[in-house]
Amino acid sequence: MITIKSAKQVEKMRLSAKIAKGAVDLIEKAVKPGVSTAYLDKIAHDYIVSKGAKPNFLNYNGFPGSICASVNDEVVHGIPSKHVILQEGDIISIDMGAVLDGWHSDMARTFGVGKISPEAQQLIDVTKQSFFEGLKFLKHGARLGDVSHAIQEYAESYGYGVVRDLVGHGIGQSLHEDPNVPNFGKAGHGVKLAAGMTLAIEPMITAGGYKVALLDNDWTVVTDDGSLAAHYENTVLITKDGYEILTL
Ligand code: MG
């Protein structure tokens, strides 16, 4: 069931989203060679708790971290670890959110560690821009497939892979709600969008093919061909005349 949020409920999600964004901003400043992903996890955890919220990823289906920290060919669900030390030239995707007063937020960014290759930078930039290409079609009365198609078309125009096995989602009083929000699809198809829907839109793009594999830890998703992956996500509200990005 797709839920429509009232103005009051959206206000709560705005507060939750602000906390998630604050944590990601702290992580962005902390990302450098020599830092462990466990350290980044602690930064996010402590900040979110200090704001009276909870990290909604922690213990979600048993996930052991407050953030997902996915390095290089890891697409999503990288487990923070003191043994994963960032190296110059790596890219790291941080996916995380907060729950405040029962209302969830969810967002992701990919950062470069020190100096990164032009190829890695382009992947990060195109992944981010693919999100905004999708948003050009996000409005009351449009079809979800319009958004999905625009994301796919833009990313694939660079020869990149659009991950199929993982998709965005509705969000609100649960971290994952209806509808599924794929980053690929047909324009003019899919769920009809309406003001008051809140969606986590999250292109996951690879420098190679779209196929992914699961590591032995049963969490971490990697590209099947070992190519780099990037992730960009925001929690977004559909309004009468467009949208509002809550986690920006
Ligand atoms: Mg998400």
Candidates 243, 242, 245; CA nearest to 234 is 245
Most distant CA pair in the chain, distance = 48
| 160 Cβ contact list (under 8 Å, min separation 6) | 123, 126, 205, 206, 207, 208
Q: In sequence order, which residues have a C-beta less than 8 Å from that of residue 6 and are 6 or more positions away?
A: 196
Q: What is the pLDDT of residue 93?
A: 98
Q: Which of 48, 163, 144 is nearest to 104 (CA)?
A: 48
Q: Do residues 73 and 99 lie in contact, with contact meaning Cβ atoms separated by under 8 Å?
A: no
Tell me which amino acid residue 231 is: H
Ligand 1 centroid – CA 211 distance (Å): 19
176: CA distance to ligand 1 center in Å? 7
Ligand 1 centroid vs 141 CA: distance in angstroms? 23
Short-list 169, 166, 167, CA closest to 177: 169
Q: Residues lining ligand 1 (ion), CB within 5 A?
A: 106, 200, 202
Quote the percentage of the chain above a pLDDT of 70.
100
Closest CA to 233 of 211, 196, 200: 200
Query: Phi and psi of 30, rounded to 5°?
Result: -85, -15
**Contact by Cβ (8 Å): 212, 224:** yes
Q: What is the pTM of this model?
A: 0.97
Among candidate residues 136, 129, 137, the one with its CA nearest the CA of residue 154: 129
| CA of 168 relative to ligand 1 center, distance in Å | 5
CATH superfamily, domain at 7-245 = Creatinase/methionine aminopeptidase superfamily (3.90.230.10)
CA of 233 to the centre of ligand 1 (A): 7
211-223 mean pLDDT: 98
Ligand 1 centroid vs 9 CA: distance in angstroms? 19
Residue type, 117: S
Q: How far apart, in Å, are the Cα atoms of 68 and each of 27, 90, 232? A: 12, 16, 13
Query: What is the per-residue pLDDT across 107-164, written as a single tens digit (0 to 9) for each?
Result: 999 999 999 999 999 999 999 999 999 999 999 999 999 999 999 999 999 999 999 9
CA of 77 to the centre of ligand 1 (A): 11
Question: Quick one: pLDDT at residue 69?
Answer: 98
- The Cα–Cα gap between 117 and 13 comes to 37
What are residue 86's phi and psi, to 5 degrees?
A: -70, 140
Helix boundaries (H) for the chain: 7-30, 37-50, 118-135, 144-156
Tens digit of each residue's pLDDT (9 = 90 or more) over 45-56: 999 999 999 999
Gap from CA of 156 to ligand 1 centroid (Å):
21
Tell me the pLDDT of the chain averaged across its residues. 98
202 Cα–ligand 1 center, Å? 6
Work out whether strand 91-96 and strand 107-112 pair parallel, antiparallel, or are unpaired: antiparallel
Q: What is the pLDDT of residue 43?
A: 98
